[in-house]
Amino acid sequence: MTETRTTDQSTQSRRTKMGSSIIRRLGLRGKLLLALLPPIVAILLVTGYASYTVSEDFIDIALERSVKMHTLAMAHEVEELLEQCRIDLLFFAQGKMEPKALRSMLEKRLRSGGNQYFELSFIPASGGQPFALIQQDGIIQEIHADAFDTIYPNPFEELNKIDFLKVGQVLPSDIIETVYPMPSHTASNRHIKTRILRFYTYFPGDEISPPGILFLSVKATDIRNILSWYNSEESPLWAFPRSDELRFSYFLNNDGWMLFQSEAFNETNKELTTYLARENFSGTLGKDGHAAAFRPNENHVRYWAAVNDINKGENGLTQVAEERIGDSAVNSFYFSYAPVRFWGDSKDKPTSFGGVVFVDRTQLPIIAGYKNLDVMLFVTAGAILLISCLVFWFGRILTRPIHALATKLDSLNSLEEMEEINLPYSGADITQLQKAINVIIRKVKQQVVEIQVKDEAILNVNKRERAPLKRERETLAEAELSRIPEIIGIGPVISNMKVNILKAAQVEVDVLISGETGTGKQLVAEAIHSHSNRTDNPFISINCGALDENLLLDALFGHIKGAFSEAKEDRNGAFIEADGGTLFLDEIQSASPKVQQSLLRAIASRKIKSLGSDKECAVNVRIVAATNVDIPDLIERRTFREDLYYRLKVVSIATPALREHRENIPMLAVYYLNQAEQLAGRESLDLSKGALAKLVNYQWPGNVRELVNCITRAAVMAENDIIQAEEIRLENETPQPVTEQNDTPPITPKEESDPSVNRVEPTPPPAMASPLNARQKEAWPHIQKKKSVTRKEYQELVSGTLPTRTAIYDLQDFVKRGLLIKQGKGPSTRYEVVK
């Protein structure tokens, strides 16, 4: 026990010493802030918490009043609807109990903008003719007594209520389900089912009609729509935007049955539902005539307490805690209820007809808490800022030299701009600290230059290594076993083209191949022929762009002896030579209008006439045409026949540009490098990593044909077995200089990093005859905008992989042209635009 106490004391002592050491290391400003800020922040937090507690209570009171007002307004609106039904029913009871008279009164009431009643019926106690008037979509239909058997429930069953009614009294029913026949022109046996609320009154009889019962019905959805209205943005109580939290209302009767809930405001004809109202309740679902009704079990105390209050004519509100649902931040909701009263007789007291329950979730307390927190943070931040300003003002004089030194260090944004510090402050401590920092700066600059040289050397060596192409060679070996081995490539673009080739090969229709120059359109045509049923027959290829009009017609259709002065003997044209096989027409867009017309006739009839002959010859030829331009554009310019275009384009295949499937460039490079080895008489040629990267990053305007030429040229000119990046010559490429002649040699990395090396810059000549190279042209507008540039910035402007020697060469060339002036030495060298 004694040892444990000793250990605790030792630990506490070490912590105390550590805290004291930290405080001693703080500057004057830090110590002042440490002494003043904590108590002020604590006072602000206590004050803010107290004010938030008080404001939260008043926010809850305001919300409860708002929710209760919303609930009472809905209940009052429903009461107004019930009262209007009572008044209208008593009004109808003042008329004659004849269908024509009541129908006229009902139509006038509907046209005046009153409630859209569903039913008005009269059932005499004895004698007389019962009838029912049913309104649907503004149309009133009369149902006579002989059709009452098709009505459910039978209206005659309502006569049992006549003993409970007296003159001037109106009794409402519960929600009931009714079925009425509503025949139409298209459906004679049409019935409609709906849930209604009926209002009954006693008719004492007159000189024409016997006593009976008169009842008026309104659809239950009309009451439901009142709840939906108040829960929407169209509500008369909608005074401000609400959050997206779940809120709804529902209607219940005196027995505790949930009859229906509010829905979206625009869903006025939706069936009655209670799925939101009955959530988190257990009980009985469905009652006679109303399958959606729900009655919770008696163990839901809060609910049944509300039912008892509603039966007593009392309203109430409870805030209920709940677990957060989904992304909702609300952890409670308001459960508000109010009775819906009905005056059966204007002289009697109202009775409870049912009640309205409103479930409201709101984020206002949470938002208020956040706002209160924001205010606290703002006040706290303001206090901290004020105290900090005072501390800063008092400590500025004492800490100005150190602050200036720190500011100077912060201003060194990059290693290349790092310079030694020389501040105009005296004092042994400041001078010693400044010297130590300058020593560090010199060492860091030297190490950075060395690292850059090493990194560039490693990168250059890595680029000159053999590229790993084992996978591509394996893929090429597997491709020889595929169905179309002559087309090299993988990936979705090439796979889709191969599928289209096989589909085209299986049918005997003409094909139009479109694609840029050098994308292998003839290869596709040959693949279609070789995989079709015509593979054993001739494949004839004609380049329409290589022949003029007369020669092309002669090449296509042939001629007979004596057709023209040069025709010494008969000649079969391409159509006859390709009979039974495939005729490939390359560059079809180059054909003249006369040739196009002849082709159209031959393709349409599959018959041709040789030049100078009057006899037609039937041919069995499949046409495969190819183009490297947009033919619809030529059709708009009226240089290509639209009917010929659609004759050729039965099946269309597009050959993708090489830049659209760059993943195949390494494989294609290996394939054509193997072919180039045979042409060049070389063996075991391979590509370096740098050469492969150069091929992949190039745009290839000439596509595969340009790639083949490039690989072949590199194989012929390569000095070693590994082709390097500089041996890959691309179109419009400016060769990178290796050495300069008749000029000052480029600065080596060692010279650039050593500030002691003094170099004499050549005097720039007044004008330079040679133009800027492509890199300089690209970078010059950016240099002019920035006013100055470093060697590293120039490399980033032109290309991230530009060698350091080449970048220095370009910048020195700018200096010799009189466009830039070199400032500084070593890594801090900058080139400024001449003003």
Q: Which two tokens stand for residue 190?
A: 């049409």
DSSP element (H, E) containing 500: helix 491-505
> Where do we find the tokens 């002691």?
756
| Whole-number Å distance between alpha carbons of 466 and 447 | 31
CB neighbour class for 231 (10 Å; exposed up to 12, middle 13-18, buried from 19):
buried
* pLDDT given at position 413: 64
* pLDDT given at position 756: 38
* pLDDT given at position 526: 93
Residue 196 forms beta bridges with which residues? 176, 219
Q: Which two tokens stand for residue 378?
A: 């703002």
* pLDDT given at position 427: 67
List, edge to edge, every strand of the sheet that includes 511-515: 539-543, 582-586, 622-627, 511-515, 651-655
- Say what the alpha-carbon torsion angle 588, 592, 593, 596 is, to the nearest 10 degrees: -40
DSSP element (H, E) containing 38: helix 28-93
* pLDDT given at position 800: 65
How much is the CA Rg of the chain, to the nearest whole Å? 48
| Whole-number Å distance between alpha carbons of 646 and 506 | 20
Q: Are strands 258-261 and 248-252 parallel, antiparallel or unpaired?
A: antiparallel
Taking phi over 0 as left and psi of -120 to 50 as alpha, with beta for the rest, 183 belongs to beta
Triad 33, 39, 40: Cα angle to 5°: 80
Please name which of 483, 486, 539, 538 lies closest in space to residue 506, comparing C-alpha atoms.
483
- Say what the alpha-carbon torsion angle 603, 605, 611, 616 is, to the nearest 10 degrees: 150
List, edge to edge, every strand of the sheet that includes 283-287: 283-287, 290-296, 258-261, 248-252, 351-360, 332-342, 316-321
DSSP element (H, E) containing 259: strand 258-261
Mean pLDDT by 10 residues, the chain (835 residues): 61 64 63 73 79 80 89 94 93 91 90 89 88 89 87 87 86 90 78 91 89 94 92 85 85 94 89 91 90 93 94 92 72 91 82 92 75 74 75 66 70 64 69 78 77 78 79 76 79 90 92 92 93 92 89 88 77 90 94 91 90 87 94 92 92 92 88 85 84 88 89 86 86 51 37 39 42 85 89 81 79 87 78 86
| Whole-number Å distance between alpha carbons of 453 and 747 | 13
**pTM for the complete prediction?**
0.46
Q: Which two tokens stand for residue 565?
A: 């002065």
CA distances (Å), origin 124, targets 3, 165, 203, 216, 371: 106, 14, 9, 15, 68
Please count the CA atoms within 13 angstroms of the CA of 598 that sit on its side-chain side: 21
Residue 512 forms beta bridges with which residues? 625, 652
Triad 561, 562, 567: Cα angle to 5°: 70
Q: Please answer whether residues 45 and 376 qualify as being in contact, where contact means their C-beta atoms are separated by less than 8 angstroms.
A: yes
* pLDDT given at position 322: 80
CB neighbour class for 415 (10 Å; exposed up to 12, middle 13-18, buried from 19):
middle
CA distances (Å), origin 726, targets 11, 448, 454, 722: 68, 28, 21, 12
Q: Please answer whether residues 488 and 473 qualify as being in contact, where contact means their C-beta atoms are separated by less than 8 angstroms.
A: no
Residue 651 forms beta bridges with which residues? 511
Q: Please answer whether residues 200 and 214 qualify as being in contact, where contact means their C-beta atoms are separated by less than 8 angstroms.
A: yes
Residues 546-561: tens digit of each pLDDT: 888 888 988 898 888 8
Q: Are strands 170-172 and 139-144 parallel, antiparallel or unpaired?
A: unpaired
Q: Please answer whether residues 583 and 623 qualify as being in contact, where contact means their C-beta atoms are separated by less than 8 angstroms.
A: yes
Query: Can you say how many angstroms the Cα of residue 490 is from the centroid of all Cα atoms in its chain?
Result: 30
CB neighbour class for 72 (10 Å; exposed up to 12, middle 13-18, buried from 19):
middle
373: amino acid identity, one letter: L
Please name which of 334, 253, 251, 371 lies closest in space to residue 61, comparing C-alpha atoms.
334
Q: Which two tokens stand for residue 804?
A: 């350091």
The string of DSSP letters for 318-350 reads EEEE----TT----EEEEEEEEEEE-SSTTSPP
| Whole-number Å distance between alpha carbons of 71 and 363 | 19
Per 3-state DSSP, the chain is made up of helix, strand and coil in percentages (nearest 5) of: 45, 20, 35
Query: Can you say how many angstroms the Cα of residue 162 is from the centroid of all Cα atoms in its chain?
Result: 66
* pLDDT given at position 745: 39
Q: What is the DSSP letter of 546?
A: S
Q: Please answer whether residues 336 and 306 qualify as being in contact, where contact means their C-beta atoms are separated by less than 8 angstroms.
A: no
